[in-house]
Amino acid sequence: MARVLVVDDAAFMRMMLKDILTKAGHEVVGEAANGLEAVEKYKELKPDVVTMDITMPEMNGIDAIKEIKKVDPNATVIVCSAMGQQAMVIEAIQAGAKDFIVKPFQAARVIEAVQKVLK
C-alpha cells in the first residue's frame, strides 16, 4: 500500500484517480490543484508516490517535479498527461518522473504504474 498525493487542476481527474487508487488499497493522503500546492503538500505530507498532471496553472507539473526533487531527491513521481503531450512527458521524465500514465485513465494502468515505481 502506498501513500499517494494526487495533483491535477481538474477536480474530476483527482476524483477519478482517488477512486482508482483507493479501490486498489492505496491511501490518498492529499490533493493539489497546481504545482505550487503540490510542492507545499509534498513537504507537509511526505507521500510515497505523487501523481502529477503536466499542464496546470501557477506552476506546471515539470517545474513542480524539479522543485520536489530539490526537497527530496528520492521522490517518486508518476506523470499524468493527455494524448499528444509526448515531448512534455519526456521532459518530465528527464526532470525526474519515474513513469507516466495517459488520460483518460485506465484503472489497470494506474495501479500497474504505482506498483512498478514502488519496487
Query: Tens digits of per-residue pLDDT, 44-101?
Result: 999 999 999 999 999 999 999 999 999 999 999 999 988 777 889 999 999 999 999 9
Using an 8 Å Cβ cutoff, are 42 and 61 in contact?
no
Using an 8 Å Cβ cutoff, are 7 and 68 in contact?
no
Nearest to 62 by CA among 83, 90, 92, 36: 92
> How far is residue 56's CA from residue 74's CA, in Å, rounded to a whole number?
23
- Please indicate whether residue 4 or residue 105 has the higher confidence score (pLDDT): 4
Helix ranges (DSSP H) in 1-119: 11-23, 35-45, 61-71, 86-95, 107-118
Average pLDDT over residues 17-37: 98
Report the first-to-last Cα separation within the chain, whole angstroms. Answer: 12
Q: Coil, strand, or helix at residue 99? A: strand
